[in-house]
């Protein structure tokens, strides 16, 4: 009768595939007599399971497992509890299962898993050892699977507990592999590599070990060694698709795009309908600026009906590069989602601006903000950027004020409003927004620098400005924008030599018109007029419409 009852649970068959669960095989012990109440409770449990009422099924099985002391019922209770993630019930059921069926490796394995979840590692190892003694070929993938959910400290304790087992089962390849994966999770890459090499030495055909070896080298940043390991794997598994793709990706990481493209081309010949090969081939072709080839690859994707959003996005970019605006719009507007969707909407705006249709660009942004509400903040910023570009700062401020009613704590919107406020001469609003950002993140070097520079440039609060900019530089010491600000506040404080040294360095690193304006003014103030004009001339050549450069020349009454 018990076999019949347990066999009803076809709806539970998916449990055995659940990662990290120990789904037992159907118990095989002989049938035994049960009371009517027990029989009824188990039938109700099975029917509840078929209706996905797992709590009811578990409750009945757990109760009857303790009442009947039947290992099959205890095993079933363990299976259900693990499937629904009822950890305490699973620990209770698996403990009973081991007590009733100590020689069952699956019972020992199930209890080991639950003890690991409870961080009772030393106890869990005893049961894992017993399970492996009973069945050396036991599936121990839960070792690495559970490691993914652990804190770094817990994972280290779990590894320490497992170490003695490696000595006891030196040739258990599944154990070696899973412990190696666990070390990888802990970023003990060298130890993981040693275990993988040991494993490959035992079995050169262990596919997963070769994959792990290549990925471990890549994780360490040793791309050449990772490539070498991948090539070795390909000698072991000729023309293997996964290893060939890995080789191509490692070549990309090495910046060898030409060879990566050749590898993808060879793969496409073998797998012409595989979108996961066609797309990276197209991207390598794009990187090499072979736009015709990239376009052909992307059009194949569209013809296959595979990854259409990605294909349309990159075809839109190619059309933009080829100055085919209508084609670009057609591709961008054909997208329905995907990771590149928001970038495509920015592309639409760029195309409209290129066509001199700024009003259409604004309409598109506003329409998208309604339709794609999850990205509404990005569309607010997109609209602000467009309005700022056309000098509509009052309108830009209105948009930002509306946006901040909905997203008051958003620092990107706050920063944008601060920059618009500066354009409108509203230093009070600028300071309020930047102070808000700094209060939320005292290490925001950009906000610290922006506030410090504005105070240095437009107020007499120079000591306060100096302190803010020095804080920013402590966070980002090599940022040329911060060096420029510090050089400028030194100039305003009369510390001319320090100012000159910093501005020269900032200009070498970032020869921007604003830095040129500041450096030139310092040189001019020091009487080095020829040098100042040379710097200003360089700036004007690069950015002839630079407002700050033109204002500086006008204020100092300098003709170049």
In this predicted model, what pLDDT tens digit does every residue of 510-547 receive, in sequence order?
Answer: 999 999 999 999 999 999 999 999 999 999 999 999 99
Q: Do residues 140 and 178 touch, judged by C-beta distance below 8 A?
A: yes
pLDDT higher than threshold 90 for residue 9: no
pLDDT higher than threshold 50 for residue 130: yes
Structural domain contains residue 59: yes
Q: Which residues contact 428 (CB under 8 A, 6 or more apart)?
A: none
**Which residue, of 92, 120, 139, is where some domain finishes?**
139
Q: Can you tell me the distance from the alpha carbon of 396 to that of 384, in angstroms, rounded to the nearest whole number?
A: 5
* pLDDT band, very low/low/confident/very high, at 449 (cuts 50, 70, 90): very high
Structural domain contains residue 291: no
Q: Can you tell me the distance from the alpha carbon of 182 to that of 170, in angstroms, rounded to the nearest whole number?
A: 17
pLDDT in tens, 318-335: 999 999 999 999 999 999
- Overall average pLDDT of the 481-491 stretch: 97
pLDDT in tens, 352-392: 999 999 999 999 999 999 999 999 999 999 999 999 998 99
**Which residue, of 80, 106, 139, is where some domain finishes?**
139
pLDDT recorded at residue 52: 81
pLDDT recorded at residue 14: 33
pLDDT higher than threshold 80 for residue 249: yes
Cβ-in-10-Å burial (0-12, 13-18, 19+) of 539 comes to buried
Structural domain contains residue 539: yes
Structural domain contains residue 126: yes
Tally of domains in the chain: 2
- Overall average pLDDT of the 388-413 stretch: 95
Mean confidence (pLDDT) of the chain: 90
Q: Residue 220 has which token pair?
A: 């360490």
Q: Do residues 107 and 94 touch, judged by C-beta distance below 8 A?
A: yes
pLDDT recorded at residue 8: 38
**Which residue, of 106, 139, 172, is where some domain finishes?**
139
Quick one: what percent of the chain has pLDDT higher than 70?
Answer: 92
Quick one: what percent of the chain has pLDDT higher than 90?
Answer: 83
Give the position of tokens 């095993």. 75
Q: Residue 107 has which token pair?
A: 């019972």
pLDDT higher than threshold 90 for residue 242: yes
How far CA 241 is from CA of 44, 108, 227, 235, 246, in Å, comes to 49, 38, 15, 13, 9
pLDDT recorded at residue 19: 33
Q: Cα-Cα-Cα-Cα dihedral of 70, 71, 72, 73, to 10°?
A: 60
* pLDDT band, very low/low/confident/very high, at 40 (cuts 50, 70, 90): low
How far CA 67 is from CA of 38, 39, 117, 363, in Å, comes to 9, 12, 26, 71
Print the domain residue range for 113: 1-139
pLDDT higher than threshold 50 for residue 18: no
Q: What angle do CA 33, 34, 40 make, to 5 degrees?
A: 140
Q: Residue 77, Cα to own-chain centre: how many angstroms? A: 38
Structural domain contains residue 80: yes
* pLDDT band, very low/low/confident/very high, at 219 (cuts 50, 70, 90): confident
- The residue among 455, 457, 417, 453 whose CA lies nearest residue 433 is 417
Q: Can you tell me the distance from the alpha carbon of 408 to that of 195, in angstroms, rounded to the nearest whole number?
A: 52
Q: Do residues 1 and 9 touch, judged by C-beta distance below 8 A?
A: no
- The secondary structure of the chain in percent helix, strand, coil, rounded to multiples of 5, reads 75, 0, 25
pLDDT recorded at residue 36: 65
pLDDT recorded at residue 194: 94
Structural domain contains residue 45: yes
Structural domain contains residue 203: no
- Overall average pLDDT of the 242-266 stretch: 95
Q: Can you tell me the distance from the alpha carbon of 10 to that of 79, in angstroms, rounded to the nearest whole number?
A: 13
pLDDT recorded at residue 26: 42
pLDDT higher than threshold 50 for residue 6: no
Q: Can you tell me the distance from the alpha carbon of 227 to that of 231, in angstroms, rounded to the nearest whole number?
A: 6
How far CA 289 is from CA of 261, 280, 317, 326, in Å, comes to 12, 14, 12, 21
- Overall average pLDDT of the 12-41 stretch: 46
pLDDT in tens, 155-174: 999 999 999 999 899 899 99
Q: What angle do CA 420, 426, 429 make, to 5 degrees?
A: 80
CATH assignment of the domain containing 23: 1.25.40.10
Q: Is the whole-model pTM more than 0.85?
A: no
Structural domain contains residue 521: yes
Alpha-helix residue ranges (DSSP H) falling in 390-528: 393-406, 411-423, 427-440, 445-458, 462-475, 480-492, 496-509, 513-525
* pLDDT band, very low/low/confident/very high, at 34 (cuts 50, 70, 90): low
Residue predicted with more confidence, 206 or 65: 206
Q: Which residues contact 124 (CB under 8 A, 6 or more apart)?
A: 111, 112, 113, 115, 116, 161
């Amino acid at each position: 009768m018990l076999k019949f009852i347990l066999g009803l649970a076809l709806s539970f068959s998916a449990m055995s595939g659940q990662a990290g669960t120990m789904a037992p095989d159907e118990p095989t012990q002989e049938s035994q007599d049960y009371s009517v109440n027990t029989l009824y409770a188990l039938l109700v449990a099975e029917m509840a399971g078929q209706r996905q009422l797992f709590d009811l099924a578990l409750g009945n099985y757990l109760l009857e497992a303790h009442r009947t002391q039947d290992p099959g019922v205890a095993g079933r209770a363990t299976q259900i509890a693990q499937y629904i993630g009822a950890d305490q019930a699973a620990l209770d059921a698996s403990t009973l299962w081991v007590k009733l069926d100590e020689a069952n490796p699956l019972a020992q394995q199930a209890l080991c898993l639950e003890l690991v979840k409870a961080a009772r590692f030393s106890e869990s190892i005893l049961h894992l050892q017993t399970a492996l003694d009973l069945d050396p070929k036991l599936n121990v993938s839960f070792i690495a699977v559970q490691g993914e959910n652990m804190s770094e400290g817990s994972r280290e304790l779990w590894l320490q507990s497992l170490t003695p087992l490696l000595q006891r089962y030196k040739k258990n390849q599944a154990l070696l592999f899973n412990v190696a994966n666990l070390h990888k999770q802990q970023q003990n890459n060298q130890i993981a590599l040693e275990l993988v090499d040991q494993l490959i030495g035992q079995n050169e055909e262990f596919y997963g070990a070769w994959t792990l070896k290549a990925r471990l080298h890549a994780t360490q940043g040793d791309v050449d060694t990772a490539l070498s390991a991948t090539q070795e794997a390909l000698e072991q598994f000729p023309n293997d698709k996964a290893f060939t793709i890995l080789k191509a990706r490692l070549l990309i990481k090495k910046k060898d795009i030409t060879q990566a493209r050749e590898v993808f081309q060879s793969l496409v010949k073998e797998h012409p309908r595989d979108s996961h090969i066609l797309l990276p081939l197209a991207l390598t072709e794009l990187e090499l600026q072979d736009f015709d080839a990239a376009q052909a690859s992307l059009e194949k994707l569209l013809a296959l009906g595979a990854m259409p959003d990605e294909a349309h996005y990159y075809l839109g970019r190619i059309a933009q590069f080829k100055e085919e605006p209508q084609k670009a719009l057609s591709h961008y507007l054909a997208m329905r989602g995907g990771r590149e969707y928001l970038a495509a909407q920015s592309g639409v705006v760029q195309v409209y601006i290129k066509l001199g249709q700024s009003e259409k660009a604004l309409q598109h942004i506003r329409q998208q903000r309604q339709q794609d509400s999850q990205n509404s903040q990005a569309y607010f910023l997109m609209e602000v950027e467009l309005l700022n570009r056309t000098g509509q700062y009052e309108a830009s401020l209105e948009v930002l004020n509306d946006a901040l009613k909905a997203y008051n704590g958003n620092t990107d919107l706050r920063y944008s409003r601060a920059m618009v406020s500066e354009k409108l001469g509203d230093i009070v609003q600028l300071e309020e927004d930047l102070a808000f950002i700094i209060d939320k993140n005292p290490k925001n070097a950009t906000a610290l620098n922006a506030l410090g520079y504005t105070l240095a440039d437009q107020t007499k609060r120079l000591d306060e400005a100096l302190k803010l900019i020095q804080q920013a530089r402590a966070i980002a010491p090599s940022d040329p924008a911060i060096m420029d600000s510090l050089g400028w506040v030194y100039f305003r404080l009369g510390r001319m030599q320090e100012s000159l040294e910093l501005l020269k360095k900032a200009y070498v690193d970032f020869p921007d018109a604003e830095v040129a304006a500041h450096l030139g003014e310092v040189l001019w103030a020091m009487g080095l007029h020829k040098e100042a004009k040379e710097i200003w001339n360089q700036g004007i050549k690069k950015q002839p419409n630079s407002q700050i450069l033109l204002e500086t020349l006008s204020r100092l009454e300098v003709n170049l």
